[in-house]
Amino acid sequence: MSFDKVAIIGLGLLGGSIGLATARYLPGVVTTGYDADPAVRARAAELGLAGTICASAADAVTDADLVILCVPVGAMGDAAIEIAGALRPGCVISDVGSSKQSVLAALNKALPGTTIIPAHPVAGTEHSGPDAGFASLFHSRWCIITPPEGTDSALVDALSAFWSALGAKVDVMSPRHHDLVLAVTSHLPHLIAYTIVGTASDLEEVTRSEVIKYSAGGFRDFTRIAASDPTMWRDVFLNNKEAVLQMLQRFTEDLTALQRAIRVGDGDTLFDHFTRTRAIRRSIIDEGQDDARPDFGRGDHED
Ligand SMILES: NC(=O)c1ccc[n+]([C@@H]2O[C@H](COP(=O)([O-])OP(=O)(O)OC[C@H]3O[C@@H](n4cnc5c(N)ncnc54)[C@H](O)[C@@H]3O)[C@@H](O)[C@H]2O)c1
Ligand SMILES: O=C(O)C(=O)C[C@]1(C(=O)O)C=C[C@@H](O)C=C1
């Protein structure tokens, strides 16, 4: 089976990119879109982010066989409540949220008896809004599908095929495991970036203009991440609290160990640690997981 009519709720970076990618790679699929913000709906219509931009969420989902919620994770429940009475029988509900356990719980609560198959394309940039979307966002990126136990495998296969058609590589895992893995690979790095950029801007002996003027490679990369959408990331931390706190505890212990090595002049510990982390970076590149596109994530891309 495959999905012929896809409704996209939330037309920012992710929703817009899904609409553009569907038009490009699945031209036979009909798309509808809705965003709670009228200005976003108007811009989405100008940019052609979906075939039809609807005036209500209920209108957008009426004929859909797949609905993808592309709103901040804290807004998933409300977005689902808005479409509850308008879904046609057999419609599959999915999403793109960065955390999965709380989203699944919110969707189950709002849409009892509906087939819910959460997903998370691990692809994005620090930009948000309808102008940030582009069709190639998902190329060679992982999309993690987290079906609840007992989900019809034909529907999971159909959702996998949809994401593969948009260029993604698909993996399936439990919502709980997803949240633990992403806590260390995505959520903690964002928290660290938000912290270090804030720390640098609060220093008394180093002026803010010096921080901006002398921000060489390392700090500059942190500022890119720290420019990510505040609403999205507030919601991620509030919704993946336990896994993030678990990883943060472990990180703090490891940071303290390196702090001690610096204080006591233990060069071997520092050297061994840096050698191990360099090997991890090299294996990411060997697996083709590095951004192949020059300047990807800095606002420039091939579209
Ligand atoms: N930005 C990334 O890098 C990235 C990557 C992967 C997944 N995600 C996830 O994708 C989701 C969307 O993120 P984004 O970057 O596209 O955000 P975005 O800010 O670009 O777009 C979100 C849109 O949702 C709309 N919205 C909010 N509440 C709504 C509601 N109840 N009904 C309809 N529309 C509503 C907003 O008006 C906004 O236009 C989030 O859950 C995020 O965690 C983001
Ligand atoms: O490249 C970036 O700007 C991102 O932060 C993208 C990123 C990530 O951490 O990898 C951010 C959040 C998402 O849920 C998925 C992808």
What pLDDT, on the 0 to 100 scale, is given for residue 94? Answer: 98
Q: Give 208-261 pLDDT, tens digit per residue.
A: 788 888 887 788 889 999 999 999 999 999 999 999 999 999 999 999 999 999
- Cβ-Cβ contacts under 8 Å for 294 (sequence gap 6 or more): 300
Q: Residues with Cβ within 6 A of ligand 1?
A: 9-15, 35-37, 40, 70-73, 75, 78-79, 96-98, 121, 123-125, 128-129, 229, 232, 236
User: What integer best gives the mean pLDDT of the chain?
Assistant: 93
Q: Residues with Cβ within 6 A of ligand 2?
A: 98, 122-126, 186, 228, 297
- Which of the two residues, 16 and 280, has the higher pLDDT score? 16
| Coil vs helix vs strand at 49 | coil
- Domains and their CATH numbers in the chain: 5-174 (3.40.50.720), 178-286 (1.10.3660.10)
Q: Give 60-72 pLDDT, tens digit per residue.
A: 999 999 999 999 9
Instruction: Find the 113 Cα to ligand 1 centroid distance in Å.
Output: 25
Give me the interface pTM, i.e. the ipTM: 0.98
| Residue pointed to by tokens 């997803």 | 178
Mean pLDDT of 7-32: 98
CB of 11 closer than 8 Å to CB of 128:
no
In this structure, which amino acid lies at residue 250?
R
The bound ligand whose nearest atom lies closest to the alpha carbon of 70 is 1
**Most distant CA atoms of the chain, gap in Å:** 67
Q: Give 84-136 pLDDT, tens digit per residue.
A: 999 999 999 999 999 999 999 999 999 999 999 999 999 999 999 999 999 99
In this structure, which amino acid lies at residue 65?
D
What pLDDT, on the 0 to 100 scale, is given for residue 281? Answer: 86
Q: Give 282-299 pLDDT, tens digit per residue.
A: 888 877 765 543 344 434
Mean pLDDT of 20-25: 98
Task: Give the atom of ligand 2 at the shortest distance from the alpha carbon of 225.
Answer: 3
